[in-house]
A and B are shown apart, each in its own frame.
Chain A
Amino acid sequence: MISLRGVTLVYPNGVRALDRIDLEIEKGTFVFLVGHSGTGKSSVLRLLYREVKPTAGTVVVDGIRVDRLRKSRVPALRRHLGVVFQDFKLLNEKTVWENVAFALQVTGAHTRDVMRQVPRVLDLVGLSHKSRMYPNELSGGEQQRTAIARALVNNPKLLLCDEPSGNLDPTNTTEIMELLLRINLKGTTVVVATHNQAVVDRMRRRVVRLDDGRIVTDEERGYYFLGLGQTQVLSG
């Protein structure tokens, strides 16, 4: 599903955010990207949805050479993946329903599809009964579930989450993680960048650890801190 080979990312201001990264992620897996703030987690995700281009190396997402993608093809790539952020990125003047439908409407979807897909994803995230509410009438967890519904409304095979629980309390965090897990079990590949130790330790999924723009460990059923469980360093 995802393949990064020798990827280096230097931002225009000269910051070397990623340094010769190699990373393979199989279809249908659930992967945590962990590491201190500023180690390049968001940068990895940005490469995948083509917010930035690598300075060197190749980026392949679902068979698409993202590093070589022409600008005019970027919208097509983004329709095949969903992205979720810490700050939800919802439109406050639109209802839950409208926020979710927005992703379809602005890509020119038929009303028929909007009417079919929006209820499906709202049901999936458990917000059918709040579809007429506005974001500021919802809890943080509900807002994030709205954002997830929007990310999923195009039926993507890949869901990218950048600190999805960064603004949430533990209860809401658990709720969101369980939702992401359910989504993953339905076959969607899920990549979560986080520095929430509790979540990572409880879920026991693949953990890719970044430090200063490099992948230092990659464990199949890892913990947040290296060495808490049986560790299996695959690269570094």
Chain B
Amino acid sequence: MDWGKLKFFLGEVGRNFTRNAGMQATAIGTVTVTIILLGAFLYVRGLMMHLSTEVFNQIEISVYLSESATPVQTAALRTTIARDRRVRSVQFVPKKEGLKELRRRMGGQVDTSLLTQNPLPDKLRVRVRTPEDVSRVAAHIAKLPGVSTINYGQDVVARLMQLSSVLGKIGIAIIATFVVIASIIISNTIRLTVFARRREIGIMQLVGATNAYIRLPFICEGFLDGLCGALLALALLAIAKVELMPKLSAALPFVRLGAASIDVWQLALELLLVGGAVGALASWVSVGRYLRV
């Protein structure tokens, strides 16, 4: 390793980086905003996905049997449903069980002792392997003989899917916009540094430096801009998480936020890489444009 060479190179990068403090701050700031948005988006999306799977996993198809169904018919129906490869499990719930369950779920809110007769029919509790199949499986079962009605919280599922898709699209649009803005500002910053150093670049070209070599410090500078912006964003995101999450959890007690297994370290690493990459790419383009002239 030629330490003298490395020291010279780092010195050049450092000098650039500290020369244009104002512009540098602007570039870093836009990256920070971009990465905060991206980070918040990815985090919220992680939560949403976690929530969706939680909800989906709780989804079950209640297949209410007609009053007239004989035990033999019920058994046959059960086998038919269980043979469907999309179905994970089928469980028979006699009406007595159903009532107990209802009591448990409602807690003290409903006084079931007033009921003189069990109004619930027998049912089959069907769980599917993948949530997306639920409506198709349900429609299929509804047509089978011996089935009276079917219930699986259709509207909840539909709304949840719609919501996450809309939020996803809006988020991506906002982030794309900010990535573009950050790229433009970084590439402007680099262009200013290039302009400030045009004498130096001219001399480099004169003494036979290759374009790749001339480019390298600027790429590093852009990368540093992006990295600093991302680091700043991560710090702010971390603070936000520490400050906001307990409040959010308190406000939404039924959602087990803590159980969401979002790998924050991986997310942080990805955000840093995105920041650095945006910076490096933006400056690559802007120096390239200068050198081609």
Contacts and interface: CB of A to CB of B under 8 A. Distances in A.
Interface residues of A, number: 25
A16 interface: no
B205 interface: yes
Given A91-B199, A106-B213, A108-B213, A154 B207 contact: yes
Interface residues of B, number: 20
B254 interface: no
A169 to B, nearest CB: 25
Interface stretch (A26-34, A71-79, A204-212, A218-226): A71-79
A107 B206 contact: no
B203 interface: yes
B5 A79 contact: no
Contacts of B5: 105, 108, 110-111
A17 interface: no
A142 B8 CA distance: 25
A106 B4 contact: no
A83 B199 CA distance: 15
A91 B207 CA distance: 13
A76 B204 CA distance: 12
A203 B220 CA distance: 49
A76 B2 contact: no
A4 B214 CA distance: 31
A114 interface: yes
A97 interface: no
Nearest to A110: B2
Decide if the interface of chain B is mainly helix, strand, loop or mixed. Answer: helix
B291 to A, nearest CB: 10
Contacts of A115: 4
A75 B199 contact: no
- Most chain A CB atoms below 10 A, which of B199, B207, B209: B207
A107 B209 contact: yes
A76 B15 CA distance: 27
Nearest to A76: B208
Given A78-B206, A107-B210, A111-B4, 9 more contacts: A75-B205, A76-B208, A78-B208, A83-B206, A89-B206, A91-B200, A91-B203, A106-B204, A110-B2
Interface of A: 49, 72, 74-79, 83, 89, 91, 93, 102-103, 105-108, 110-112, 114-115, 150, 154
26 contacts: A75-B205, A75-B210, A75-B211, A76-B208, A77-B208, A78-B205, A79-B207, A83-B206, A89-B206, A91-B199, A91-B200, A91-B203, A102-B204, A103-B207, A106-B207, A106-B209, A106-B213, A107-B208, A108-B213, A110-B2, A110-B5, A111-B2, A111-B4, A112-B2, A115-B4, A154-B208
